[in-house]
Amino acid sequence: MSLKASVVSSVLFGLCFLRLATANQSPNIILILADDQEWNALSTLADPDIPQSGSPYFQTPNLDQLAQGGMRFSWAYSGGPTCSPSRHAIQFGRSPASLGIVGYAKNVKSVKADNRDALATVLKRGCPGYIAAHFGKWHMMPLPEDLGFDVNDGPNGNEGGGF
């Protein structure tokens, strides 16, 4: 296991016990990943100090409510120019280049990462009892079930499913 995965596992494991000690239940974690969304496309401000970081045009009350009650990654950046590199970077906690994914990954059969270090696997290792589910577009290889997800809603690509 890499040093980064060990640290992440330790932190997640510790957070589980901290949360269990105070509320007797693990928190729900929802990661929403949107393609082609500008940084200021929500009606809530991405950065309270920048008035232009929200949209008066787009009304996103449900996402705004989630953002206000949860953790936002307002200073995050895309790991690549297309969805596949960014999705791989989030899934494995590594840069797309270190994973060998620098463009459209349709023909990628495996990445330079240990599947044991995937997001769902590390979370479940640190906090036993979590159930990981994926819904919507996946657009990467390996498939969700190969990376520790217990539930997958089916074909995971763009039109036509599959990839």
Catalytic residue numbers? Answer: 83, 139
Residues 6+ apart with CB under 8 A from 36: none
Alpha carbon distance 74, 119 (integer Å):
20
Query: Would you say 82 and 104 are in contact if contact means Cβ atoms under 8 Å apart?
Result: yes
Alpha carbon distance 110, 105 (integer Å):
10
Alpha carbon distance 21, 58 (integer Å):
40
Alpha carbon distance 147, 11 (integer Å):
20
**Dihedrals phi, psi of 152, to nearest 5 degrees:** -140, 135
* R_g over Cα of the chain: 17
